[in-house]
Structure 1
Amino acid sequence: MGGGSITSLESSLADILTPRLLALLVKHRLPYHKAAKINFSHFGRNIFLIDPFAPLIRERVWPVLITLSKIGLDGMPDLTTYLPPPLDPTFPVQCLGLLLLLDHCPRLLFRGIDHRWTYAYFSQISQRVAESWYNLPKGMRPDTWERWHNDFGAELDYWIGVRFWFGTPFVHSERLEHQEIGIKLTEETRTKVEEVSGETDPYRAQRNEVLGDIYGFPREYRRGPPQGKGVTREGWTFWMGMLMDIHKPIIDRFGRYPYLNGICGREWRDGEEEWVKEVKHFGEADQDVVRRVKDDVRLGKWTPLGSDSLSLWWK
């Protein structure tokens, strides 16, 4: 999977996975004062409807992702070894930055056949990192309210954003055990917001429907985040929790996301093609891209990262 010496590539990781880069990703993805109130209509719009983030980080991030793409999944070292120790005060920000680099940046920056790298490569690496931090003792975990509030002075608004980004690698995963972790994380966030606000998440009354609706994620994603002056912190968090949770029914039913079959070069399994038709081909790759991926899979190769994306970003 790419040329060059793996040893030399690995030795260069410390030079590119720098504390400055990882902190910069967090700063641009959460561009709010940690103790300030956040406009959650603005927050949701910047994630789902527009993209102010990618233009700020693409020049710094592309060389790092290309370097990582040349190592291969089997040869990839434990990237958490490039983070500070878990009890270091900078660990939460650095860990979050690494997750944004691996799980989020490819989804924003890659186009065409490059998205095979998003779902079949970088998602796998981000999930390894996510498992690593999640399995730490509670006092060492980088996502907790206590660490962000006590060490960084973060208030609830900012921590809600932090928890959203820490949870996405699990929600994006096609492994059921990861989906179950995602459900636990969402419930913890939901409960904290309910405790502080005194409000009850209205989706609790629809819990069975949310966790049993295999068509819910495409429908709610297309509907988009709450927008307008009436959007509250609580309303946005409860909606976001529902959106995170509603991924799981698809994995419960199929064991994977059927709309990723084409970009991952996979064949259809029972019921998947009918599901994709029912959701009007939500999230599917262009058929020309699917053909090219299948050719790569058949030949046992990967089209180099950047082949479809770099010319678009720097026209």
Structure 2
Amino acid sequence: MGGGPISPLESSFDNLLTPSLFSLLAHHRLPYPDKKAPINFSDFGRDIFLEDPFSPLVKDKAWPALLALSKFGSPDQVPDLTTYLPHPTDTTYPVQVLGLQLLVDNLPRLLFRGIDARWIYAYFNHVSQRLARTWIALPADQRPDSWPRWRDEEGVGLDYFIGVRFWLGTPFVHSELLGNQMIALKFTEETRAVVEKETGTVDPHRKHRDAILNDIYGFPRLLQKGPPQGSDVTREGWTFWMCKLMDIHQPIVDRFLRYPYLNGITGRAARGDEKKWLEEVHHFAEADEDTVRRVREDVKKGRWTPLGEDSL
């Protein structure tokens, strides 16, 4: 890549990082044959936050690619993944980006367990965010998250597009970099604005925006409560809940410059103010003690337990 010699590992990606894999992932993550039809957003939220019908359908295809990507030893050494995508002006580009982004951002969170979870937050997070920074920087008419592109080129309805925006926005939300958090806020506002314009509604959370963006306890509280469920869940209500969930990550990174609940799984030591916050949120989303011990041993010795140790 980048004009240099291609290693055997990189050349093997030609059989792993394929258009068919990316299309498969996009299809199963948003499994709606009629892309113009309304979506049941109660089911949509359940399938993301409460259950996992997705990974069992794609695990056998995705694991070889994830294992190969882990062999570089450092996320900085992973080759430029955009070389496995068509040109941004190609009509298949949006779907292909969505599939590749799901591979490196969503699937590790679903598949990796135990000490393998370190690979999510200290490795694939960085790979995913580097990829996302490439397409977000494209001209507006080439971006794969564009409403006109999905509406006109893919022929999708607003409901389907909301699902696309959710999955393409997560890499920025998952980031501990303030720059990426600022992108996340802008990205979420773009989603909100499209839905408001197309539906003639206004996000009721707008009037509480200052409080949301200063609430360092909001994310654990909102996520533990869970997504909107039931027969009265509307497209607009779910979208505006999603936008709040996305936005409410940012106060934590603003305050601590990272997510304190990831300290253990990444081998970091908690600072005093982080310890207090973790106690106040009842150690929300922290790794178990045995996994943290094993990660710290690896970090101390400058090694990585190979991916798959606890997950396969």
Residue by residue over 1:157-190, the C-alpha shift from the partner in whole angstroms, topping out at 9 and shown as x without a partner, is 0000000100000000000111111111111111
Residue by residue over 1:30-84, the C-alpha shift from the partner in whole angstroms, topping out at 9 and shown as x without a partner, is 0112111000001001000111001101111111111110013232110011100
Aligned position for 1:116 = 118
Q: Aligned equivalents of 2:310 and 2:46: distance in 1?
A: 26
Q: Aligned equivalents of 1:81 and 1:64: distance in 2?
A: 15
Aligned position for 1:200 = 202
Residue by residue over 1:171-220, the C-alpha shift from the partner in whole angstroms, topping out at 9 and shown as x without a partner, is 00000111111111111111111112111111001101110000000000
Aligned residue for 2:268, secondary structure, equals coil
Provide the TM-score with structure 2 as the length reference.
0.97
Structure 1 residue identity aligned to 2:87: P
- 1:1-315 to 2 correspondences below 5 Å: 7-32=7-32, 33-72=34-73, 73-310=75-312
Root mean square deviation of aligned Cα: 1.1
Structure 1 residue identity aligned to 2:45: G
Q: Aligned equivalents of 2:126 and 2:6: distance in 1?
A: 19
* Matched-pair contact (CA < 8 Å) for 1:6–1:71: no
Aligned residue for 1:17, secondary structure, equals coil
Q: Aligned equivalents of 2:153 and 2:166: distance in 1?
A: 19
Q: Aligned equivalents of 2:107 and 2:6: distance in 1?
A: 23
* Matched-pair contact (CA < 8 Å) for 1:218–1:279: yes
- Counting aligned pairs with the same residue, the percent is 63
Q: Aligned equivalents of 1:246 and 1:6: distance in 2?
A: 42
Q: Aligned equivalents of 1:117 and 1:189: distance in 2?
A: 29
Structure 1 residue identity aligned to 2:222: E
Structure 2, unaligned stretches of length 5 or more?
Answer: none
Provide the TM-score with structure 1 as the length reference.
0.96
Instruction: State the 1:7 CA deviation.
Output: 1.1
Aligned residue for 2:202, secondary structure, equals coil
Residue by residue over 1:234-254, the C-alpha shift from the partner in whole angstroms, topping out at 9 and shown as x without a partner, is 000000000000000000000
Q: Aligned equivalents of 2:58 and 2:92: distance in 1?
A: 20
* Matched-pair contact (CA < 8 Å) for 1:6–1:75: no
Instruction: State the 1:6 CA deviation.
Output: 8.1
Q: Aligned equivalents of 1:112 and 1:246: distance in 2?
A: 27
Structure 1, unaligned stretches of length 5 or more?
Answer: 311-315
Instruction: State the 1:269 CA deviation.
Output: 2.0
Structure 2 residue identity aligned to 1:256: R
Q: Aligned equivalents of 2:284 and 2:222: distance in 1?
A: 11
Aligned residue for 2:77, secondary structure, equals coil
Structure 2 residue identity aligned to 1:226: P
Structure 2 residue identity aligned to 1:193: V
Structure 1 residue identity aligned to 2:55: A
* Matched-pair contact (CA < 8 Å) for 1:171–1:182: yes
User: Size of the alignment, in residue pairs?
Assistant: 306
Q: Aligned equivalents of 1:270 and 1:186: distance in 2?
A: 32
* Matched-pair contact (CA < 8 Å) for 1:22–1:94: yes
Structure 1 residue identity aligned to 2:256: F
Aligned residue for 1:167, secondary structure, equals helix
Q: Aligned equivalents of 2:107 and 2:163: distance in 1?
A: 16
Structure 1 residue identity aligned to 2:69: L
Structure 2 residue identity aligned to 1:56: L
